[in-house]
Amino acid sequence: MTTTRALPVRRGPAPAPARPHEDAGRTAHDPAGLGAALRDVAMRAHRAVRSVDAVSRAGGDPSRQVAGALAELARLHPRIVQLQHRVGDAPGSRLAAYLAALRRELETRLGRR
């Protein structure tokens, strides 16, 4: 008797996980959530800062070319402040120092300092 194997069930792509800032209340005491939120903010800030710097080095018109990047930095600033409040100001905390440096860098690019 001949047997046939069942074909594997094809599944669609997994749904994208919720962005960390959408679930801000839960990450207050969740190290994994805090890490995900920090990673998200750091990556988005890095991309926006690189975009701003590239245009300023090229000598282009920054008002048109970096408007999106500056808007992204403006959206990230309150998120970084929120993460700073969650982490606290523990002396010697490298995470607090990183967030403070990231905030200063964004404020410099936004002209707030």
Q: Is residue 41 part of a domain?
A: yes
| Rounded Cα distance, 30 and 58, in Å | 42
Domain presence at residue 35: yes
Q: Is residue 11 part of a domain?
A: no
Domain-embedded: residue 80: yes
Residue 25 inside a domain? The answer is no
Q: Is residue 19 part of a domain?
A: no
Overall domain count for the chain: 1
Is 84 among the domain residues? yes
Percent of residues, the chain, with pLDDT higher than 90: 31
Give the tens place of pLDDT for each residue, 16-71: 555 544 445 554 568 888 889 999 999 999 998 888 888 777 776 656 667 888 89
Question: 30, 28, 45: which is closest to 83 by C-alpha?
Answer: 28
In this structure, is residue 64 part of a structural domain?
Answer: yes
Q: Determine the structural domain holding residue 84 and report its residue range.
A: 30-110
CA distances, 80 to each of 6, 11, 50, 77, 104 (Å): 51, 37, 18, 5, 10
pTM of the model: 0.65
